[in-house]
Structure 1
Amino acid sequence: MVRGLYVLLAAVCAVAVSAVYAAQPILGEAGRDLGIAPDAYGWLVSVGQFGYLVGLVFLVPLGDLLDRRRLITVHLIVVAVGLGAVATAPEAPMAFAGLATAGLFAVAVQTTVAYAAAVAQPQERGRRLGFVTSGIVVGILGSRLLAGALTELWGWRSVYLVLAALAVVLAIASRILLPVDVRSSAGRYQDLLRDGLRSFADPVFLSRGVIAFFLFASFGTLWSGIALPLSAAPWRLSETQVGLFGLAALAGALAAGRAGRWADAGRGNAVTGIALAALMVSWVLLGQLRWTLLLPVLGVIVLDFAVQAVHVSNQHILTELRPGRISTAIGGYMVFYSLGSAVGAAATTGIYSAVGWAGSAVLGIAFAGAALLTWAIGVPVVRALRPGD
């Protein structure tokens, strides 16, 4: 595939994942307009994430059975329908239904990643995965900036209208530009689901999944909690200023595209260990937030570099070990990601309320340390299966 088509795949990832995360910075505006009680605002994010989790289990494995190009197209269209329902919802029930639908089919992200891995040459698979998955980080972090800016200009509903339009455009582009995803054999859907369940007993898969759980719990601890100390004394930053921290995160995450090249060279497992150690260091820097902003900005860059590097290396290892079940492997792996993100997000707000940002920093470094310990325990198994790593 030419580079332009990988740009298209990265864009699909960015827009699809934005369908799940775009509500985070506009909860207050949307909740008030829809008549939702303040203590229930969080459901505007939770219903989409729950739908996403269901899609990981039941929709992503279809990529090992059907043409992934067609799946990407159909999923994006349904995402657009769900987002359109949110944008036009007169009351909360319709908005919740639209968010759940959009979240369910936002797993077009994982189908897209699997497509990129399947069509890439083996010697460049890591590099291609690194580039395409960078679109996920752009979507998660960029949606914060986009949502804030559009809400100030035209109201919160414009966020979902714009994302719906982008999803339709990308669906058409994917249908026209992506090569057909041909496979010689696929099997039955129920067999794929059973195979996915059996994956959880595989030592390498389980090790990479547990690493992903702690990795994204640490990620969720940062991005669901950092606005709290930044908007409080002594900084008292506005929502727009807080959103600028996402630019630092993008710099770190995009720089981690190099991790794909290291994985292609057989150094993915070593990169994982180094990046997890860097993740722990990033929390030391982030813990200094009470007296400086410079070190936390550096911490954000290091953290997102580490998260993306580990994420790319993990997926590279799993797609190499299960070339005939790429979608099933990625879907199962991302269940750990989803659960970890939810745990980190839930835990950081409670800890911050109890003991402040120092507690959140300790939580983040504890998650990172648990991921590093899991990696160290799994090193002999990975080396036995992949002696070149």
Structure 2
Amino acid sequence: MKADIESLTSSATDSPLAQPKEQAQSPGLSPALTLLFSVTCALAVANVYFAQPLLDSMAQSLGVAASMIGIVVTATQVGYALGLLLVVPLGDLVNRKRLIVAQVLMSAVALAAVGASQQWIVLLGAMVAVGLMAVVVQVLVAYTAALATPSQRGQAVGSVTSGIVLGILLARLTSGLIADFAGWRAVYFASSALTLIIAAVLWKLAPVTSAQRDGKSYLALIRSLFTLLGSERILRIRGLLALLIFADFSVLWTAMVLPLSAPPLSLSHTAIGLFGLAGLAGALAARRAGRWADQGLGQRVTGIALVLLTLSWLPIGFAETSLLALACGVIMLDFAVQAVHVTNQSLIFAARPDAQSRMVGAYMCFYSVGSALGAVAATQVYALWGWVAVSVLGGLISVAAVALWLLTARTSNDSQ
């Protein structure tokens, strides 16, 4: 522990990134600092997903109809989408350390407000704020890429993304356990306290950096987000791939509960939630894919992962008759999605080191659109034609991603 703290402190005080420009040569990220960023991301993204198993308790506590309580999740996603457009680009304009610490502190306040909410409208407003501040995850990913050396960038981004994956997977389980013992409000009060601790550690140990301002105003910075979409081909290609893979991801995780909870399986919510642990393969994929991207294998990794994604829908299609087949398919899908996701980020960061926050903000907008479209399509298809049709939908989306990769691979400027 002492060695880790010394390593962190060394990174914070000796890094040339404390100089006026973030583009100065960096000694890279220490393992301890990478771990700190990963833990911060895990907690931040977990705040977005805590509510899902708590909706019924929230509805009863606030006297809200069960048909309306789902708006809580929507409010959080609205806040997250706004954060991608309005907050994440600030990482290219202001001191990233101060921006991150400020976001984490405001997140702690928002979480406490959720826990203390006694009225429906107050809860929704607090959940929007939670989503808005949760985009600190994307600022941290860009910060990680900026601090890392080129040779370790992919692995560092992969490690931080592993923290994000673990945060998503553990959020539902953790919130359920805490709520069983102390109620749903305790989940948010506990997270608020942990978030305050994380803010203090980040303030003490994260390296001080200064962004390149180049005379840009905030409005000009936001406009440049859309300019990047027009000028950076790699951002458009990798963004479209993100839209497709996360639509696929959302199709599975949105619709999967429906056949598993229905006869003849009739699994409990706890049993269904355990399938999320199969997604740990995604955390492994994130770190591995980062290493492969560092070795110049970005295009190859993308192609192999997309083929694996397509094949994963074959065992997933047997969910109603074989839980083992479903588990295998979930592992394959999560591994493939995270491998492509990390490779995408590594490549777009390398393309524009001077605009990493804006690049990741624009990229994650594709992710949000894909997730939303996948969720809507999955529920509609299941209602009309059942689980096999959902699996066909997922397979077709995967095939579309493979086709996009084939069409762009030969002419792309991505690493080969």
TM-score range relative to shorter protein:
over 0.9
Q: Which residue of 1 aligns with 2:70?
A: 42
Contact 1:53 1:104 in 2 (8 A): yes
Q: Is the 8 A contact 2:50 2:171 kept in 1?
A: yes
Match of 1:109 in 2: 137
Equivalent positions of 1:1-389 (< 5 A) are 1-188=29-216, 189-201=218-230, 202-382=232-412, 385-386=413-414, 388-389=415-416
- Give structure 1 regions of 4+ aligned residues with deviation exceeding 6 angstroms: none
Which residue identity lines up with residue 115 of structure 2 in the other structure? A
Contact 1:203–1:381 (CA under 8 A) maintained in structure 2: no
More displaced stretch, 150-159 vs 183-192: 183-192
**Structure 2 unmatched ranges of 5 or more:** 1-28
Provide the rounded CA distance (Å) in 2 between the counterparts of 1:175 and 1:341. 33
In structure 1, how many angstroms separate the alpha carbons of the residues matched to 2:180 and 2:33? Answer: 33
CA contact under 8 A between 1:204 and 1:378: conserved in structure 2?
Answer: no
TM-score (norm 2): 0.90
Give per-residue Cα distances to partners, 1:298-349, cap 9 Å, x unaligned.
1111111111100000001100001100000000000011111111122212
**So what's the TM-score if we normalise by structure 1?**
0.96
* Counterpart AA for 2:51: A
CA contact 1:212–1:371 (8 Å) conserved in 2: no
Deviation at 1:77, TM superposition (A): 1.1
Distance in structure 2 (CA, Å) of the matches to 1:160 and 1:359? 38
Q: 2-side partners of 1:73 and 1:193: how far apart? A: 21
Taking the aligned partners of 2:398 and 2:168, their CA distance within structure 1 comes to 20
Tell me how far apart the structure 1 counterparts of residues 374 and 62 of structure 2 sit (CA, whole Å): 27
Q: Distance in 2 between matches of 1:149 and 1:82?
A: 22
> What displacement does 1:185 show?
4.4
Q: Is the 8 A contact 1:22 1:143 kept in 2?
A: yes
Out of 149-158 and 4-13, give the one that drifted further: 149-158
Which sits farther off after the overlay, 351-360 or 113-122?
A: 351-360
Structure 2 contact 165–282 (Cα < 8 Å) conserved: no
Report how many aligned residue pairs link the two structures.
386
How many percent identity over aligned positions?
44
Contact 1:56-1:335 at 8 Å conserved across structures: yes
Counterpart of 1:193 in structure 2: which amino acid?
I
Whole-angstrom distance in 2 between the partners of 1:172 and 1:13: 15
Q: Distance in 1 between matches of 2:131 and 2:68?
A: 18
SS state at 1:66 partner? coil
Q: Which amino acid aligns with 1:147?
A: S
Deviation, 1:269, is 1.5
Report the CA distance between 1:184 and its aligned residue.
Answer: 4.9
Q: CA deviation at 1:256?
A: 3.6
Unmatched 5+ stretches in structure 1:
none
How far apart are residue 154 of structure 1 and its match? Answer: 1.5
Cα deviation digits, residues 23-60 of structure 1 (max 9, x gap)? 12222221222222222222110011011001101110
